[in-house]
Amino acid sequence: MTQATEHGGPPAEPPVPADVDIMSRDVRWFAHATGADWPPAAQRDHLAVPRPDTEVAPALPESARGGTSVPLPPGTSELLEHAAHPAVRPATAPDASTALGHALVTGFGIQRKEPENPFNDHRGYPSVRAKFPVQVFVRDGGRAQVLDPYRHALTGLDGDGTAAGGREVLLAGRYTRLPDSYRWFRGTLVNLELGINLRQLCLGMELFGLSGRLRLPGPGARRDLDALGLSPHEEWTLPLAVELTGDGSSPGAAASAVPDPLPPERVSDPVLAETVTLNRAQDFGLSEPLGPAVPEHLPQTATSWAEVLWRRSAGRMPRGLYGMSGRRRTVSPEVLEAAARWLTVPPPGDTLAAVWDEVRITGVLQDVEGHADGVYRLHDGEPSLLEARSGAPEELEGHYAYRVDPYNGGDIRHATAVWFLSAHPRALVERFGPGAFTAAQYAAGWAAQGVGLAAAASGLYARPARAFQEVPAQRLLGLDTDEMVLCAVITGTPRFSGPMYDLRL
């Protein structure tokens, strides 16, 4: 595999070929970043035929079967109705004993069902095919529970009883919630969703006055999987853990303990084995204070946090069709300013914030008052024009994997903004180690959810995507050839509306 020159000068040829498929792209980028070799797809004809897309892991882990459920507090939606966006505290604070329950419902509770949409349910954050592969766990001493949004409850788990020093919320992704046909791409998408879920957790905690510390995966993190009864290990990511400190809890001692070595994992599925290898490269083991999830100095609006979370959408199509469609509309500069402010808030902890500093933000904008249509780079929260380019969204549509046809909407040409988050994988690994490759995807997911919340407050949809052809997109955006697109977010005005069933509690 061709290697890059020193950061700042592009390699002789792209590290990832222009014709590489989306599913294997990130594994090749990891190989480039770490100097490893990875056989081309032509040498992988031995891979098993994927199971049908309907055969995925269950919505809750098997360790939750038969567990006792504890109802979550009702009335979260009403509390959020009285919380004016973008303030970060409800008008009426709940009892301290229910604050975490309200925070979890705020972050992860079901919002609505759209009868015309082939992918239900809808929450305050997006998920691939509405599969929600990231599970939310609460651990308090020797007791472990999983969030069951359909029962509006925390359900007990059959773990090994390993004690956590304090109360904590853990986020773990299950690769097998996504169909086998996604292959290596499951790792990328689950990592992005972990970042999205982390922002939702921090948002809920911030709105209900809870503080904590983020513990990134490190040596011995697989023990968390045993403590939660998550088996087999290879189907799960290492968890992100948030240790609660704002409810009288204190961080556990596990973060600083030196664990005994664990035996290597043996994974029979070669695709899953390589996906797990990327995830297990994380060796952080750090516990760092949470920062804010919501930017400061946003203009006061007439809406509430309940309404913002209700509006959050990845776009719609009519009559059970797939994808999204929009219509062109001129928006005020405040819409752009709000998105830029959300993008300036780094993910929690010094480590993820430092990784985020390595991420470049490029936007393709059109129909924003006071701004020429074209390609912009975001510097310190301010968009700077790189190239005036009328029709750039339509060009991007030609590089999008989902074509507009009678069955599917892939409408990019009418987008208000398409935000691209990119980084140099080799520079990340050289500075932070191989785990930074995954950490950068957490950071990109965190940022993508910020764009989604900004869009919802402005009446726009926001669709995170990893479906753009990378090399043509690099050229249009003015990126380096050794610069990887972590994630894109398509925002625009929805064209279609339809009935929505309110499922909030």
Q: Residue 252 maps to which CATH number? A: 3.40.109.10
Asked whether residue 297 is assigned to any structural domain, the reply reads no
**Over the stretch 288-322, which tens digit does the pLDDT of each residue have?**
999 999 999 898 888 999 999 999 999 999 999 99
Same domain, 402 and 278: no
What pLDDT does residue 93 have?
A: 79
What pLDDT does residue 46 have?
A: 65
Q: Is 336 within 8 Å of 417 (Cβ atoms)?
A: yes
121 cis-preceded (ω within 30 degrees of 0):
yes
Encoded tokens for 111: 């919002």
| Share of residues in the chain with pLDDT > 70 (%) | 91
What pLDDT does residue 247 have?
A: 61
| Least confident residue range of 13-22, 171-180, 479-488 | 13-22
Asked whether residue 17 is assigned to any structural domain, the reply reads no
State which of 289, 305, 323 marks the end of a domain.
Answer: 289
Asked whether residue 221 is assigned to any structural domain, the reply reads yes
Same domain, 194 and 113: yes
- Mean pLDDT of all residues in the chain? 91
Same domain, 239 and 111: yes
Same domain, 343 and 215: no
Q: Which residue has the tokens 């059959």?
A: 158
User: Residue 346's domain spans which residues?
Assistant: 313-502
pLDDT at residue 5 is higher than 50: no
What pLDDT does residue 18 have?
A: 81
State which of 289, 323, 354 marks the end of a domain.
Answer: 289
Same domain, 120 and 182: yes
CB-count burial class (<10 Å; 0-12, 13-18, 19+) for 71 = exposed
Query: What is the tally of structural domains in the chain?
Result: 2
Cα(23)–Cα(466) distance, rounded to whole angstroms? 10
Asked whether residue 459 is assigned to any structural domain, the reply reads yes
Same domain, 323 and 471: yes
**Over the stretch 109-157, which tens digit does the pLDDT of each residue have?**
999 999 999 999 999 999 999 999 999 999 998 899 999 999 999 999 9
Same domain, 322 and 450: yes
Same domain, 364 and 248: no
Asked whether residue 235 is assigned to any structural domain, the reply reads yes
3-state secondary structure 43-97: HCCCCCCCCCCCCCCCCCCHHHCCCCEEECCCCHHHHHHCCECCCCCCCCCCCHH
Cα(121)–Cα(159) distance, rounded to whole angstroms? 28
Same domain, 70 and 209: yes
pLDDT at residue 257 is higher than 70: no
**Over the stretch 60-94, which tens digit does the pLDDT of each residue have?**
999 999 889 999 999 999 999 999 999 988 888 78
- Would you tell me how many other CB atoms lie within 10 Å of the CB of residue 81? 17
Same domain, 279 and 398: no
What pLDDT does residue 256 have?
A: 43
Same domain, 98 and 143: yes
Average pLDDT over residues 273-298: 94
Asked whether residue 43 is assigned to any structural domain, the reply reads no
Asked whether residue 41 is assigned to any structural domain, the reply reads no
State which of 254, 289, 324 marks the end of a domain.
Answer: 289
* Element (DSSP H or E) covering residue 243: strand 240-244
Asked whether residue 142 is assigned to any structural domain, the reply reads yes
Cα(335)–Cα(457) distance, rounded to whole angstroms? 9
Same domain, 249 and 334: no
